[in-house]
Amino acid sequence: MTALLELEGVHAGYGPTSVLHGVSLTVPEGGAVSLLGANGAGKTTTLRAITGGVHWSGDIRFGGRSLRRMHTEDIVSRGIAHVPEGRGICTELTVDENLRLGAHMRRDGAELRKDYDRVFAYFPVLKERRHLSASTLSGGEQQMLALARALLMKPRLMLLDEPSLGLAPMVVRAIFEIIRTINRESKVAVLLVEQSARIALDLSSHAYVLEVGRVAVEGDSDELKGNESVRRSYLGY
Amino acid sequence: MQEFLQLVVSGLAAGGIFASLALALVLIYNAMGLVNFAQGEMAMFATFIAYALISRGMSFWIAFPVTLVLAFGGGIAIQRIVIRPVERAPVLTLVIITLGLATLVNGVAGFLFGYVPRPFESPFSSDTVGVLGVFISYRDLGVIGVSGVVLLLVYLLLQHTTVGLTMRAAAHHPEASRLLGVHVSWMLALGWGLAAAVGAVSGIMVAPVLLLEPNMMQAIIIYAFAAAVLGGIESPLGAVVGGLIVGVTVNLAGVYVPFVGGDLQLAVGLAIIVAVLIIRPNGLFGRASVRRV
């Protein structure tokens, strides 16, 4: 499989505080990769570096082209949908307006209508609540809205930052089931940041474990799941 | 009763003018959490441009849209040149910059056009028409009509177009919007352009009443502040409703409250600002704002 996203020796941080000390990782075309690690290991910063939210050095390439010095708006228009920490829902807007915001760069009317149908098939509740304010949705529904909105951007890669955060286990299972479907059926690559390693490893085929800004361990998800010392020292279960 | 109704109608006309300028304030407040103290002076300057066009023989109804387009471009230019370099500065810095901008625009207008008040021909006849025993001037009806159309257009732009949607998203959630491909900085510039154009409408509508000179908008901006605060400084609809209420209240107070007369009408505007901030700081349509410290 060819690499869709490549990070090579990426250093990044906020002002004088550096958070990443040379992170390298690869997400293959259509692949599913987990990025695990404790609080403060640099998982969110890695995602933010990819979409230009923090200054970085090293190299980040998407589809073979470097993202160096590009603005966030232009990076995402190349086909990266980033669902940030806290989901980034516009609570002043309705559900429908949030979805239209995801699709606002698209000019392919017929395709877009099909994508709307597909999104509503994944998340029927969003169709029911289309005209309500997004602030009336529950946490799980907001996560669904964030995923739906990301899908309407027609991405080649989705960056998901802790989709399980603050949700009931049953809701988490449903949402991960849909992420898996999106990954398999729509061939959208996924880079998943998670605290709960077990559920992330079930989804991904490959995983990286970050420790204070460096990749401490990487490998096949199944391998990491089976490796008891890795599990104890890094994954906490 | 008849006098009362006549005062209400002419109050609505004044209210339409306040509403336009208040809406301009709200557009910029929404985009960057900033009260633009230069809004009135920008409107005054645009009115001078309209005056210059008309006095060179252009008809009012061509000069009016041309001025709005120029004001729109001017608003964008101000955002790009003056505001953008300090976009991330503390809000107090930005407030002082808009105060400086107000003084600057006022001085430039005085330098270019002088301080002698000039009559500005109204496009509407000063005749009156009787409706159910109330005499309304075409001038008041015209001002109400023009303000109404402009406010409606702004509403449609913001609520029913993709550009309006991205502008609203950029204003409230800049980070999340950027991740969806919204060019946030340009949306702020568009907000300034739109505010400048809407503000220009208030200047052009009020000039025939007040005579055109560089300090023309200094009272109007107080009423516009009152309108914006009354409506809840974040709400475009609130700005319009607030403008109409302030227009009618000030007009009625001038006649029915003995000591107010013509001299203290501005004080009524200030009293509204103070009263709203004490009794209902979020205004009529504002949401209670929660700020974690």
Confirm whether B288 is domain-assigned.
no
The per-residue pLDDT for B234 is 86
Which of B60, B43, B197 lies closest to B122 in space, CA to CA?
B60
Largest CA distance in chain A: 52
Out of A6-10, A45-49, B79-83, B171-175, least confident range: B171-175
Q: Is A77 on the interface with B (CB under 8 A)?
A: yes
Confirm whether B145 is domain-assigned.
yes
| Tokens (6 digits) for A76 | 């995402």
pLDDT more than 90, % of chain B: 64
The per-residue pLDDT for B30 is 86
Dihedral sign (CA A159, A162, A166, A169): positive
Q: Hey, what's the torsion of the CAs at A117, A118, A120, A121, to 10 degrees? A: 120
> Amino acid letter at A89?
I
The per-residue pLDDT for B258 is 79
Query: Are B179 and A77 in contact (CB < 8 Å)?
Result: no
Name the closest residue on chain A to residue B162, using Cα atoms.
A104
In chain A, the domains with their CATH numbers are 3-87+155-235 (3.40.50.300)
Query: Are B182 and A73 in contact (CB < 8 Å)?
Result: yes
Query: Are B165 and A82 in contact (CB < 8 Å)?
Result: no
What is the pTM (predicted TM-score) of this model?
A: 0.86
Structural domain count, chain B: 1
Q: Could you report the predicted ipTM of this complex, rounded to two decimals?
A: 0.91
R_g of chain B, CA atoms, integer Å: 19
CATH of the domain at B29: 1.10.3470
A:82-101 residues touching chain B, CB 8 A cutoff: 82, 84, 88-90, 92-93, 97, 100-101
Choose the closest CB to B183 out of A73, A93, A149: A73
Distance CA B73, CA B70 (A): 5
The per-residue pLDDT for B288 is 60
The per-residue pLDDT for A92 is 87
Task: Give the pLDDT confidence of B88-131 residue by residue, as tens digits.
Answer: 888 889 999 999 999 999 999 999 999 999 999 888 888 888 87
Name the closest residue on chain B to residue A93, using Cα atoms.
B169
Confirm whether B287 is domain-assigned.
no
Distance CA A157, CA A79 (A): 6
Name the closest residue on chain B to residue A94, using Cα atoms.
B165
Print the domain residue range for B138: 2-279
Query: Are B175 and A93 in contact (CB < 8 Å)?
Result: no
CA–CA min distance B66, chain A (Å): 30
For chain A of 237 residues, list the mean pLDDT of each consecutive stretch of 10.
89 89 94 91 94 93 93 94 91 93 90 92 93 92 94 95 90 92 92 90 93 90 84 72
Rounded average pLDDT over B163-186: 92
Q: What angle do CA B10, B11, B16 make, to 5 degrees?
A: 100
Rounded average pLDDT over B239-248: 93
Task: Give the pLDDT confidence of B188-217 residue by residue, as tens digits.
Answer: 999 999 999 999 999 999 999 888 999 999
Q: Is A160 on the interface with B (CB under 8 A)?
A: no
R_g of chain A, CA atoms, integer Å: 17
Residue B292 in this model has a pLDDT that exceeds 70: no
Confirm whether B203 is domain-assigned.
yes
DSSP letter assigned to residue B66 = H
Distance CA B9, CA B252 (A): 10
Residue B290 in this model has a pLDDT that exceeds 70: no
SS3 A36: strand
Query: Are A73 and B173 in contact (CB < 8 Å)?
Result: no
Residue labelled with tokens 């996203």: A5
pLDDT more than 70, % of chain B: 98
Q: Is A103 on the interface with B (CB under 8 A)?
A: no
CA–CA min distance B144, chain A (Å): 30
Contact A100, B162 (CB under 8 A): yes
SS3 B53: helix
Task: Give the pLDDT confidence of B244-281 residue by residue, as tens digits.
Answer: 999 999 999 888 887 877 777 888 888 888 888 888 88
Confirm whether B9 is domain-assigned.
yes
Query: Are B162 and A51 in contact (CB < 8 Å)?
Result: no
The per-residue pLDDT for B293 is 45
B57: number of Cβ within 10 Å: 7
Contact A23, A213 (CB under 8 A): yes
Which residues from A are below 8 Å from B180, CB to CB? 76, 101-102, 104, 149, 153
